[in-house]
Amino acid sequence: MRFTVVTLFAGMFEQVLSTSVLGKARAAGLVEIDFVNPRDFATDKHRSVDDSPYGGGPGMVMKCDSLVAAIETAGKSSSPHRVLLSPVGKTLTHSRAVALAKMDHIVVVCGRYEGVDERVVDMGIDESLSIGDYVLTGGELGAMVIIDAVARFVPGVLGHADSADDESFSGGLLEHPQYTRPAEFRGQAVPATLLSGNHAKIDAWRREQSLSRTAMHRPELIRQDTVLTQALAARTYVLLAHHPVLDRNGETVTTSVTNFDIHDIARSCATYGVAGYFPVSPVRLQREKIARIIEIWQREIAQAGSDDRGQALSTVAVSESISSAIETIRRRTKAEPWVVTTSAQAAPGGLHVGYSELVAQRVADGSRPLVLVLGTGWGLHSGILAGADQQLAPIRGTGDFNHLSVRSAASSILDRLFGQ
């Protein structure tokens, strides 16, 4: 694979690209790196490559004539993929690096000054890439990052055939902690499992560490993992509580069942792969009404198609109380449910859990079922909030008006937790 770097400062690259893995890859001919200097294509007697911006303003802009000529020279003998390092580009990711490694020739263009004349981007660039959101003095360090990240996926560059897949990020999770000799250092011992010689136990420990570290430090990585999130949805239960909830005056009441809430939340639960939906009311007639609404809906779906949509539906179990619903889940899953309440009001002290954090923590915690308790009326009674393991951050718009229906809040919550 070949990289051609278009830069005013080729000298910056020498040590970086001649050391260790990249140095060996170049020596072995697996990776070729060459340089083109836009200054060699300057046309005036001062060989200038920059000029002041049209429209005024501070600083200088890289001129298009010399830069385009340099890019064209860089790609003369092949039709390379031309990448500009720029804060405008998408941030380089693991999967983009893997894809770029399949290309034969990449021209990497580095900006300087305040940036490059936009016509360079229009006529000479296929893709802009960034290495992150901070101000740099030029694209050169970014170019080195890209070459380093991409070159390691070129076959033969890393020692073992499989070592490129084994590293952090390939599995979408952070790596487990690593240790080497000595077994004890300044009173700190290596975790005993790693010295046990029991490889099943070591694998389990590493998997657990990898999950808990990712959950703690990079929860969004777990949230992005569709396999892990789907597995969590499949052990998640939604409770819709009509009691004990508050009325507009803060009194504890039992609300009456709203046809649309029963029906629409059931559809949302089915859509997001939630295991079970438990509407809760202490009033027998209300429970009968709920059962009737659900029955009609499920019959409609069964008639609508001969496909197996009916099987994909979440279980619906009408319950007398929040605690009896939780008990049903406990018995069904043979595990202790983790109960999370939702509220339009911020939790006391603002101690609520974010959506990615909740997904990450529950995935890392293993197999316990997750119970989401939704309130009707003016929200859940404080005793229910206090008895829960966590409260989820409220769904908020941008203003002070905050009157989502519970079925709208439910679909937003499910989408934030499990939506693709």
Output the six-digit token pair for 313.
């539906």
Measured CA to CA, the distance from residue 386 to residue 23 in angstroms comes to 60
Q: Are 282 and 254 in contact (CB under 8 A)?
A: yes
Would you say 116 or 280 has its CB closer to ligand 4FN? 116
Q: Does 53 bind ligand 4FN (CB under 6 A)?
A: no
Q: Kindly state the smallest distance separating residue 347's Cβ from ligand 4FN, in Å.
A: 33
CB 82 within 8 A of CB 92: no
Give least dist CB 215 to ligand 4FN, A: 28
Our CB check for ligand 4FN shows the closer of 128 and 193 to be 128
In angstroms, what is the minimal distance from the CB of 9 to ligand 4FN?
12
Looking at the Cβ atoms of 132 and 156, the one nearer to ligand 4FN is 132
> x/- contact string, 104-143, with ligand 4FN (CB under 6 A)?
-------xx-xx--------------xxxxxxx-xx--x-
Residue (64 or 316) nearer to ligand 4FN, CB: 64
**Minimum distance of ligand 4FN from residue 8's CB (angstroms):** 11
Considering the complex, state which of residue 86 and residue 268 has its C-beta at the smaller distance from ligand 4FN. Answer: 86
Q: Are 373 and 337 in contact (CB under 8 A)?
A: no
Residue nearest to ligand 4FN (CB): 142
Binding string to ligand 4FN for residues 63 to 92, with x set by CB under 6 A, is what? ----------------------xxx-----
Cα distances (angstroms) measured from residue 347 to each of 16, 385, 399: 50, 9, 18
Minimum CB distance to ligand 4FN smaller for 50 or for 225: 50
Chain positions contacting ligand 4FN, by CB under 6 A: 85-87, 111-112, 114-115, 130-136, 138-139, 142
